[in-house]
Structure 1
Amino acid sequence: MEHVYNLDSYKNWLSTFLMPNSVKNRMYYAHRYVNWLSTIDIESPWDAQHYHVSQFIIHAGKAPSTKKNVRDALVTLYKWGHNTEQTDVSPVKSIPKIRVPISMPRPTPFEFIDDALARCRRLSDVIMIVLALYAGLRAVEIASLHTSDFDDEQIRVQGKGDKVRYVPIHDMLKPLILHIPNGWVFPSDKNPTGHYLPASVSQRLSDLLGPGRPGGHSLRHRFATDIFAETHNLILVQELLGHASISTTRIYTRGNTEHLAPAVQALPSRDTVSQATTRALEEMRQQQKQHDTRSN
Structure 2
Amino acid sequence: MTSPGEIEAYLKYLATQRRASPHTLDNYARDLARLQELAATRALTSLNAHDIRRFVAKLHAGGLQARSIARTLSAWRGLYRWLVRQGRAEANPALTVRPPRAPKKLPQVLSPDQAATLLNAQPEDALEVRDHAIFELFYSSGLRIAELAGLDLSGTYSVADGEVTVFGKRAKTRRVPVGSKALDAIAAWLPIRAQLAAAGEEALFVSQRGTRLSMGMIRKRLERWAQLQGMPVHVYPHMLRHSFASHVLQSSGDLRAVQELLGHASISTTQIYTHLDFQHLAKVYDTAHPRAKKG
TM-score (norm 2): 0.51
CA distance in 1, matches of 2:281, 2:105: 19
2:138 to 128, 132, 140: 132
CA distance in 1, matches of 2:205, 2:98: 38
Report matched runs for 1:182-261 at 5 Å: 183-188=202-207, 194-210=211-227, 212-257=233-278
| Per-residue deviation, 1:223 | 0.8
Contact kept? 1:189, 1:195, Cα under 8 Å: no
Q: Which amino acid aligns with 2:206?
A: P
CA distance in 1, matches of 2:250, 2:226: 23
Give the 3 Å change call, closer, same or farther, for CA 258–232 of structure 1 in structure 2. farther
Give the 3 Å change call, closer, same or farther, for CA 168–212 of structure 1 in structure 2. closer
Report matched runs for 1:263-282 at 5 Å: none
1:103 corresponding residue in structure 2? 105
- RMSD (Å) for aligned C-alpha atoms: 4.2
Runs of 4+ aligned structure 1 residues displaced above 6 Å come to 95-98, 258-261
2:115 to 109, 113, 116: 113
CA distance in 1, matches of 2:102, 2:171: 22
Give the 3 Å change call, closer, same or farther, for CA 251–143 of structure 1 in structure 2. same
| Per-residue deviation, 1:104 | 1.9
Secondary structure (helix, strand or coil) at the match of 1:188 reads coil
Find out whether 1:164 has 2:155 as its counterpart.
no
Contact kept? 2:137, 2:178, Cα under 8 Å: no
Q: Which amino acid aligns with 1:234?
A: L
Unaligned runs of 5+ in 1: 1-38, 43-47, 59-63, 72-90, 262-296
TM-score (norm 1): 0.51
C-alpha distance after superposition, 1:9-44 (max 9, x if no partner): xxxxxxxxxxxxxxxxxxxxxxxxxxxxxx9665xx
Q: Which amino acid aligns with 2:105?
A: S
CA distance in 2, matches of 1:258, 1:111: 17
1:273 corresponding residue in structure 2? none
Find out whether 1:144 has 2:145 as its counterpart.
no
CA distance in 1, matches of 2:249, 2:133: 23
Give the 3 Å change call, closer, same or farther, for CA 102–119 of structure 1 in structure 2. farther
Contact kept? 2:246, 2:276, Cα under 8 Å: no
Aligned residues: 186
CA distance in 1, matches of 2:223, 2:280: 32
CA distance in 2, matches of 1:257, 1:152: 35
| Per-residue deviation, 1:136 | 0.6
Q: Which amino acid aligns with 1:142?
A: L
Unaligned runs of 5+ in 2: 1-13, 28-66, 75-91, 195-201, 283-295
| Per-residue deviation, 1:114 | 4.0
Give the 3 Å change call, closer, same or farther, for CA 190–160 of structure 1 in structure 2. farther
Contact kept? 1:225, 1:252, Cα under 8 Å: yes
Q: Which amino acid aligns with 2:175?
A: Y
- Percent identity, aligned pairs only, is 29
Q: Which amino acid aligns with 1:128?
A: I
1:178 corresponding residue in structure 2? 187
Report matched runs for 1:21-36 at 5 Å: none
C-alpha distance after superposition, 1:242-271 (max 9, x if no partner): 11221111111113249999xxxxxxxxxx
C-alpha distance after superposition, 1:94-151 (max 9, x if no partner): 5977866422232213443344342743211111111111111122222111122121
Contact kept? 1:115, 1:209, Cα under 8 Å: no
Contact kept? 2:258, 2:270, Cα under 8 Å: yes
CA distance in 1, matches of 2:151, 2:98: 34
| Per-residue deviation, 1:164 | 1.2
